[in-house]
Structure formats: structure tokens, C-alpha cells
Amino acid sequence: MIKMIYILCLGILISADFTYKDLPILQSGRLKPLDSFARNHLLQFYGKHQFKTNDKDFENIVASDWLFQIFTKPEKELDRKVFNIRNPEVAFSLGLDKNDFHKYSFKEIIKGFQENQNLLESLKTKDELNQTLVDKQIIEVYQNILSYDEITHGMYCFLPLINISSSANREFMGINDDKLVSYSYFMRNIDKFKVLLKDLLDTHESKWNESHLELSHIAIQLQKMTQFHYAQSLKIIPGDDELWYSPWEVMDGRSLTRLQYEILELYEKLVDSYIKNDINNVNIYTHSIIDKIGVDIDLNTLLLSKETSYNEQNIFLWSMVFYLIAFFIMGVSWMIINKYVTLASFISIIIGFLLHSYGLISRMIIMQRPPVTTLYESILFVSFILVLFALIFEYYRRDTLGVLIASIGGIFLHFIGFKYAADGDTLGVLVAVLNSNFWLSTHVTTIATGYGVSLVAGLMAHIYLIVCVLQPQNKKLLNKLFNNTYGLTLMGLFFTMFGTILGGIWADQSWGRFWGWDPKENGALLIVLWHLMMLHLRVSGLIRKIGYAYGVSLVNIIVVLAWFGVNLLNVGLHSYGFTDNVATNLFLFIGFEIIFMTTMYLLAKRKNPKLV
Amino acid sequence: MVLMSLKLSLYNFAHHLSNMRDYIKIIGSPKIFSFTIMWMIILVFIGTIVQKDIGLYAAQMQYFSSWFTWFGFLPFPSGKLTMLVMFINLSCYFFRPNIFSNKKIGITTTHFGVILMLVGGALTSFFSHGGSVVIDEGKISNYYENYYNKELVVINTSDLNNDYFTVFESPLLIKNSVLSHGSIPFQIEILNYYINCKPVSRIYEGQDELKGMAKNFFLQQIPIEKEYEQNISGIIYKLSNTESSDGIYMNYIGQPVTQTLHDNNKDYMLILRRERTYLPFELELIDFDKIMHPGTEIAKSYSSLVNLMENNIPRKVLISMNEPLRYKGYTFYQASFIENGSNQTTVLATVKNHGRLFPYISTIIMCIGILYHMLFMVLKSFNRKEN
């Protein structure tokens, strides 16, 4: 049954035909399409997933084409300004000219390093603790340069660079049509080539004929090309076990399997077609490669093309656009009270939400795991929950309140999500402890749901206080808002509490203690305690409605602290992902919330003495 | 008359009861709960923040596992005491009237679940113990070592067939304490005990009094590590009442050469080591296996194939991440590993916890309680709408 649904989902979500962008490559422990590989590297070098410059000599091509360009036209590509150096100090120390885009080409930077050789030397002697920010960034630039160079020459062996014209040689090597031959061709047919070489060695130099002479040139040329043997970052050739190899690796003289032989041959043809700009043929060879690999290896090709289209679609950006549109239509609906305008904002939110869900489901299908595994994914999921709950409210109330909460929360969280996505690959593999689908899908999603519901409760409390200030006479609305806030607190308590306890049970199952006062655990506990405190304060009559709403509105701070704040401490089992900006933004948010909500509370108190 | 006095005493009793009720009402007030929970929030917050500086273990000891915590010279209730107050306060809830009414039964169930959770926490905190079993591939172990506590062991190795162990546990290992026991003829006076230290070689050879490793080395105290289990504890002690070996000796954790003693025709070994607890069975590591995500250094899973031997009857067990071995109240988890060339060593976290089941049971109870209450509220609101 589950399988049926799964296949159904796959059927709906799979789109597009298989193209050269979907060719499988092993990177960071996972098979992914070349498109993702290209995007990740472009992000690493350039700071963005795609080019955005007005360089006269270079078009703004997509990442996967850029990758093929550097494979096939490495010389030309050296001039493309692909390296992002934002820090002017770094650029200056490398002797680079100022430019407005902070983008530099490989050639420029290499020149910079050559002219400042002692720069790197001195950095190498410094130990990590003493390195300044500039030092670290220079090292990063250097590493990027190295990795770029490695990628550039990754397919060098497929480039048809060797001229073999003597008909005797051609015939013996089995070359039919007259074209240049690649390094890989010789390596595949090494047995035949060895015979020719042996003949060359056995014949005295004085007796060499034309084909002998050519052969000696080829041998030298091949020898020269092996200098790029280090370029092994392109793991595109399947091996045994789960390991994949780069073309250069399998060409170190080992005996090739039938599959490897065929794949190499197909890649030669593919690269050749790409150079000739014959995209049709490129895709035909792509299909052959996939088919060949699929025979021997259990490879889910649908996931590859799915991932490429996920990369291209930029779903979450569109989702945010619709949230923004909804926000503005909602603003209009407040001014001209019209049923259809209100409905339009509601529909816009729904479209944004559907896109949001589609993005989440795509990610789940691609990675074959539950929705929340990393901090980035938790942002996506929490905002999903937030919008979901707000939508439920909107469905029942139809007074744009749900749209308000959904759009504000959705926009904010998407925006934070983009910041995190810009840090690097968001589809990474998981470390051993986390590699458990059962617990990830129970504990992590429950706690993330708890975050989401708590945020909705917090926002609802914000609105309650604001309404208290602006329309203190609107008792009916106030009552409704308060009841909703109260219900949401209960629900937030339910999800955070069980999420936390499930986490404890996971910990008990996996490493033997239910509770260890680890920062992330404490963070979740703080939310639970906060909810409990608010409920009991209300039950005991120590506070009344406005005080309660004030307390609940501050739960947002606790949620954000538990969610992002604990990572700043950098201790314990849960610390993953750390950026310096996070701290500043966090404190700004907290400061703003406290000042804003306290002001609101004081104003509301003055206007509604009965509710205090 | 008798009737009167009986009536009177009954009255008194009833009065007394109602007095009790009042007290319980005060002790069980949700105001107290709100207040303790506020204090708990503060504790958790501080206890989390300080972990950056003092590490998890110290923070836990200071703010959660102790009765009192000191802010400057003032003692404040720490986690344990706060939770005890919470427990008492919550227990009083059950003396309230009407708690089994339809309206309250959900909340009552939930509170009962919370109480069970606190009881489980207390049981765990007082009675659970654990540590880690470290086994090399192909080797056997029948004990686990405590992460934090150390012990000083004197082993009499004179007898060919049996070794005699005398163990001084961590509470005894404090400066100036004098250790002696009928099983050993000499007396040990602890001159110094360091939680964390490192051996430093002496430039000058010390006094004649210094014996063993202390002759060429001394221990330098260094700050306590944030990761408490990484501390290398050291001890300096003076032996007296021996025939010819009186003097000052030193030991530290992981000392490369064992301190031996030949005295009065008997052989002894003196070792400072992590506190050991012996298991009623043995574990043999047959094979340790780790699987990486292909082409990376990121581990996908670890597992240890272990022979569980009791009375020399072996049984093969696979312990892997998220799938521990449970046996005779002990649980063994794949926690870590050490790789040294081709030698692999597994580290199995070991726990014996009597409160283990409490969170599971209380979760179910709490879940039922809250769900019932929510259902009740939803039904009520529907009824209200219909009316």
C-alpha cells in the first residue's frame, strides 16, 4: 500500500527527459546528477548557483553548461571571472585589481599567488588558532583554485587531442573515421597499443618509418598528458562496492571491467559531441550511459532527473513570492473590504503553500529520508507547519488573520532558509548517529512541529496584544483571539513535550541515557517549561489575559534560542552549522521582540484595565 | 460522656483533616508550581550557557545534579531540589476534590504521568550507573570503566595462582587522607591528588625519598578539561611501614610503566585507573566494522560483532548504532571506536538503569491524558456551538 502511494507520488512528481545534466556522479558520499555537482561548485567558487554578470566575453550560462565548458574548453574558461572574493583585503594581498563585482578569474588569482609566493608559505607555518579571518579566506581561495583546477582536468582524458594520421597505425588501433583521438582511447585499447609500442622499441631508430615516428610522438604526448592524473574529483565511473572512480583513476593501467570500458567509450563520444555542439547526440550518449550503468548497478535514474529539476525549479523562491503577493493583497483587502480580494489573498497563500509542500516532498523523495535532518530543512519544515496551522485558522475564520500569520511567518522563515542554503550543499549525507529514518521521522518532525505551532501561538499572542491596543472595544474578536492563543499554547506544549520526550527515548535507545542536559535538549525543555509556566500562571490566577498573551508572545524568543541559539554554544551532540552572523541577527531579533512586545503590553494594560 | 468525647475527638480529627487539606492546598498550589518552573527556566538557561566555558559535565554537576548551587556566597536551590519541590507540589494535586470528573480526568492523568517521569528521573539519578567497555579486536573484557571516577589499586602478585586486589575508590582519593587496609602491610598517605595533570620530567634528580617514576618525573597540575572524561588524573603518595621501600611515589591514568614494589619478599603493583565495575559475564570483540558513505570520511554506521560469554557458553551478538545489546539489566551501546593502524578497538557505552522504563510508561500516560483532555475540549466546544 505504502509502496503504491510512493510510486504514485513519484509518477506525479517525475518530469522531464533524461539529459546530460542528470549524469550520475559520486560526491560527498552520495550519487547525484552532474547538475548538482556543478551547482555546488559554482556556489563554492562564485557564491551563487548561477552566473549573474555582464561580462562581454562570457554568457551567463547555467551551472551544468559551465561545467561542460570547463571540461571541453579549459583554456578559454581560465579567463572567466568565477571566483568570488568579497573581502578587499584578500584581493589586495593577492595584488588583484579592484572590481565592482568582486569576481576574479583563475588566471588573475594564479598570477596573484605566483607573485606573492611567500604569502602561502607564511600561512602554512601558522597554526589554525592564530589565523586571522583574512588568512583563512586566503587559504579558502587557494583551496578553491586547486579544486577548480582538478575539476577542469577531470575529463581531460576524453578530449580528442591526439592526432593519429598514419593509416597503418589507424588501422591497427581500429580507428575508422578521420578524427583526433583521446587519451582515454589509447588507454582502453592499451593491449593493441602495447603491440605497436613493442614494435617501435624493437625497431632501431635508423629504420623508423613514418608510422614509427608518429608513434613515438604519440607516446611522448600521452606521457605528457598523464601529468593530469591527479585530477580525480569526478567520480563518474562505477566500480565495485559502492565506490565510484574518476576517469583518471581507472586509467592507471588496471584492467577495466566490461562496464567501465563501455562507459569510458561513451564518455569519449559524449565529450566529442559536446565539443561539436551536437546536444542531440550528447543526450543520446547520456541515455546509453545510464542504460549501461543501470544494467549492473541498482541506480534510481528517476531520482537523478528529479534532483536536476528540483535544482532548476527554485521552488521555495516561488513559494515565497506567493506569500509576498498574499501579504500585499491582504493589505489591499483591509482597505477595500471585498470578499473576493480576501479570497484572492487566501488563494495566493494556498498556492505558495502547495509549492512549499511540493518542494519538501521533492527533497524527501530525492534523499529518501524524512523531511527534517538538517538545520536548513528544519527551517523549511517549521515554516511549513506554521503556514499549515495558519491556513487552518484562515479556513475557519476567513478574516485574513490566518493569511497575516502565514505570510509573515512564511516570508521570514523562507528568507532565513535562503541564507542557510547559500552556505553550501543542502542535500548532504548524514552521520551515523542520525542515520535512522525511524527516529528522524518521529522525534525530529514532532519537535519541529512543536516549534512551528509555538511560533503560531506566539504570533497569535502578538496580534491579540496589538488588537488590545488598537481596538480595545472589540470584545468578540479579542475573546476569539485569546481562546485561539490558549488552544495553540496547549497544542504547542503537546508537540514540544512529546518531541522532547521522544528525543529522550531515542537517546536512551542509542547511547544509553534519557536525558543529558545537552544544550539542544535544554533548549527544547525551555520551550516546554515556558508553555507549562504560562498555563499554570493562568490557572493559578497570577496573571490575566493580557499578561498571558504577553508571556506567550515571548515564546518566539525561546523558540528561536532553542532552535538557532544553542548552535552558537558549539557544544554537545546537536551542534551543527555555525555562522557568525547568526549571533548578531539573533540578538537583534530578541531585542526587537522584547522592546516591541513590552511596549504593546504596557499600552494594552492601560487601555484594558479589566483584562490585566 | 464517652459519646461526647468520641464526638469531640472526631470533630478534632475532622478539623485536623481540614487543616491538613488547607496545608495541602497551600503546598500544592499552582502558584508554587509556576514559581518553581520559573526558577527551573532560569537554571536551565544558565546551565546551558555556562557549558560553553565549563563543559557539560561540570555544568550538569553544578546546576542540575546537585541540591544547591552557589552564586557567589549565596546558596540557591539547584536542579535536584527544584525538582523535588515540583514533585511534592504536584503530588498534592491528587488531594484535590473532583479530580476524577470528566472535566479533570485528562489533566489528572497527565499530572500522574509527569510525577512518574520525575520518579524515574530520581531513580536514574540515584541508582543508575554506567561507563564504557573498551575492547580490542580479538580480546575479552568483563568490566566497564567509569567516565569520571578513578580508583587506586594495590595488587599483590606474589601468589602464582591468584592475584589479590585492594581497591581504594574515588571518595578516598583526596589530599592528606591516609589509606590502609588489613590486606596490605603498608600505609599510603596521599600527598596530592590532581583531577587533571601531566607528567613533566625533572631537570634535577629529586631527593632520595622519591621512588619509582617520581624519581625522574613530577606531576604538573593543569586546568580541568571541558570534556571531563579526557582528564588525566594523577596521584602523589607516600608509602610507610614497608620494610625497605618507604618513599614518595606517583601514578597517573594511562601510565606507560606500571609501578611495581618488591617488599618483604612480596610483589605488588600500584595502579591508578578508571573505576571499574565487573560484569557477571564476559564480552569478546570478534570484529569491529565501520561503513563510510562512499568516497568520504563520513561514517554511515558502526557495529561490533561480540561474543557474549556466560559460564563459558558463547553467543554471538551484533551491537550497532541505534541497536544496543540488552542483557541482565545492562545495556551496551556502540558509542565510539579507536583506530590504531590495523588495530581496531570498540568503545561500548554501558548503562545499568533501574529507572529505564519510567519515561516510556509516563509518556504513554501523559499522551493519553492530554489527548483525552483535548478531545473533551473539542467535544465541549462542538456542544456549545450546537446550543
Question: B125 and chain A: CB distance < 8 Å anywhere?
Answer: no
Q: Give the position of cell 550543499.
A: A425
* B170, B211: one domain: yes
> Of all helices (H) and strands (E), which one includes residue A249?
helix A247-250
Q: How is residue A349 written as a grid cell? A: 497563500
Gyration radius of chain B over CA positions:
29
Three-state secondary structure call for residue A156: helix
Which of B243, B275, B307 is a domain's end point?
Answer: B275
Of A509, A522, A529, the CB nearest to B48: A522
What is the pLDDT confidence band of residue A577, given thresholds at 50, 70 and 90? very low
Cβ distance B52 to A529 less than 8 Å, yes or no, reads no
Q: How is residue B21 written as a grid cell? A: 487539606
What pLDDT is stored for residue B260 in this prediction? 87
Cβ distance B294 to A509 less than 8 Å, yes or no, reads no
List all residues 6 or more positions away from A197 whose beta carbon is below 8 Å from its beta carbon. A215, A219
Amino acid (1-letter code) at residue A87: N
What pLDDT is stored for residue A463 in this prediction? 93
Full residue range of the structural domain in which residue B207 is found: 147-275
If 0-12 CB within 10 Å is exposed, 13-18 middle and 19+ buried, where does residue A541 land?
exposed
Determine the number of helices (DSSP H) and then strands (DSSP E) in chain A: 28, 8
Three-state secondary structure call for residue B159: coil
A and B: number of Cβ contacts within 8 A: 143
- The answer to whether residue B44 sits within a structural domain is yes
- The answer to whether residue B367 sits within a structural domain is no
Cβ distance A529 to B59 less than 8 Å, yes or no, reads no
Of B29, B60, B130, the CB nearest to A517: B60
* B188, B216: one domain: yes
Contacts of A40 in chain B (CB under 8 A): none
Distance from CA of A545 to the nearest CA of B (A): 16
Cβ distance B293 to A537 less than 8 Å, yes or no, reads no
* B207, B316: one domain: no
Contacts of B301 in chain A (CB under 8 A): 432, 435
Residue of B145, B140, B164, B142 whose CA lies nearest to B153: B164
Range with the poorest average pLDDT among A58-62, A372-376, A470-474: A58-62
Of A28, A537, A571, the CB nearest to B56: A571
What is the pLDDT confidence band of residue A572, given thresholds at 50, 70 and 90? very low
Of A29, A519, A540, the CB nearest to B298: A29
If 0-12 CB within 10 Å is exposed, 13-18 middle and 19+ buried, where does residue B256 land?
exposed
* B135, B155: one domain: no
DSSP A379-413: HHHHHHHHHHHHHHHHHHH-SSHHHHHHHHHHHHH
* B135, B282: one domain: yes
> Of all helices (H) and strands (E), which one includes residue A295?
helix A279-296
d(CA B289, CA B302): 6
- Convert the pLDDT of each residue in A439-498 to its tens digit: 888 899 999 999 999 999 999 999 999 999 998 888 888 998 999 999 899 899 999 999
d(CA A38, CA A54): 21
Distance from CA of B31 to the nearest CA of A (A): 6
What pLDDT is stored for residue A323 in this prediction? 96
Which of B92, B127, B162 is a domain's end point?
Answer: B127
Distance from CA of B186 to the nearest CA of A (A): 41
Contact call for residues A383 and A355 (beta carbons, < 8 A)? no
**Which residues are paired to B199 by β-bridges?**
B219
Per-residue pLDDT of chain B (387 residues), as tens digits, is 566 676 777 677 777 767 788 888 888 888 899 999 999 999 999 999 888 888 888 898 899 999 999 888 889 999 999 999 999 999 998 888 888 888 889 999 999 999 999 999 999 888 888 889 999 998 999 999 988 889 999 998 888 888 888 899 888 888 888 888 888 888 899 999 999 998 888 887 767 788 888 888 888 999 888 888 888 999 999 988 888 788 889 899 888 888 888 887 888 889 999 999 999 999 999 999 888 888 777 888 889 999 999 888 889 999 988 788 988 889 998 888 888 878 889 999 898 888 888 889 998 999 899 889 888 888 887 787 766
Q: Identify the residue with better confidence: B247 or A385.
A: A385
* B106, B185: one domain: no
d(CA B116, CA B107): 14
What is the total count of domains within chain B?
Answer: 3
Which of B221, B241, B275 is a domain's end point?
Answer: B275
Residue of A338, A487, A474, A321 whose CA lies nearest to A410: A321
d(CA A369, CA A441): 8
- Convert the pLDDT of each residue in A271-285 to its tens digit: 999 998 888 999 999
Phi, psi of A79 (to 5 degrees): -90, -10
Contacts of A532 in chain B (CB under 8 A): 37
Res A299 pLDDT > 80: no
- Averaging pLDDT over each range in A37-41, A191-195, A440-444, B371-375, which range is the top one? A37-41
User: What value does the mean pLDDT of chain A take?
Assistant: 86
Amino acid (1-letter code) at residue B335: A
- The answer to whether residue B361 sits within a structural domain is no
Question: B44 and chain A: CB distance < 8 Å anywhere?
Answer: yes
* B198, B212: one domain: yes
- B 295-314: CB under 8 A from A: 295-296, 298-302
- Convert the pLDDT of each residue in A230-271 to its tens digit: 988 899 998 877 788 999 988 887 788 888 899 999 999 999
Distance from CA of A492 to the nearest CA of B (A): 12
What pLDDT is stored for residue B118 in this prediction? 93
* B61, B113: one domain: yes
Distance from CA of A511 to the nearest CA of B (A): 6
- Average pLDDT over every residue of A6-26: 68
d(CA B150, CA B128): 18
- The answer to whether residue B296 sits within a structural domain is yes
Which of B40, B119, B129, B322 to mutate to probe the A interface, most A CBs <10 Å? B322
* B98, B30: one domain: yes
> Of all helices (H) and strands (E), which one includes residue A133?
helix A133-152
- The answer to whether residue B10 sits within a structural domain is yes
Cβ distance B359 to A505 less than 8 Å, yes or no, reads yes
* B90, B52: one domain: yes
What pLDDT is stored for residue A15 in this prediction? 47
Percent of chain A residues past pLDDT 70, beyond the cut: 95
- Average pLDDT over every residue of A72-82: 86
- Return the residue of B nearest to A509 by Cα: B322
> Of all helices (H) and strands (E), which one includes residue B348?
strand B343-352
A475-511 helix and A375-397 helix, angle to the nearest 10 degrees:
150
Distance from CA of A99 to the nearest CA of B (A): 37
Res A7 pLDDT > 70: no
Cβ distance B333 to A515 less than 8 Å, yes or no, reads no
Distance from CA of A191 to the nearest CA of B (A): 30
Q: How is residue B333 written as a grid cell? A: 551501546
Question: B66 and chain A: CB distance < 8 Å anywhere?
Answer: no
Distance from CA of A241 to the nearest CA of B (A): 9
DSSP A502-564: HHHHHHHHHHS-S----HHHHHHHHHHHHHHHHHHHHHTTSS-HHHHHHHHHTHHHHHHIIII
Length of chain A: 612
State the CB neighbour count (10 A cutoff) for residue A437: 13
* B58, B175: one domain: no
Q: How is residue B176 written as a grid cell? A: 592528606
Strands B247-252, B234-240: parallel, antiparallel or unpaired by DSSP?
A: antiparallel
What pLDDT is stored for residue B217 in this prediction? 86
Q: How is residue A510 written as a grid cell? A: 542509542
Question: B347 and chain A: CB distance < 8 Å anywhere?
Answer: no
d(CA A499, CA A515): 13
Residue of B104, B111, B85, B96 whose CA lies nearest to B33: B85
ipTM of the complex: 0.85
Contact call for residues A453 and A385 (beta carbons, < 8 A)? yes
- The answer to whether residue B328 sits within a structural domain is yes
- The answer to whether residue B92 sits within a structural domain is yes
Contacts of A570 in chain B (CB under 8 A): 52
Contact call for residues A162 and A180 (beta carbons, < 8 A)? yes
- Sign, CA dihedral A419-A424-A430-A431, equals negative
* B72, B122: one domain: yes
Contact call for residues A315 and A357 (beta carbons, < 8 A)? no
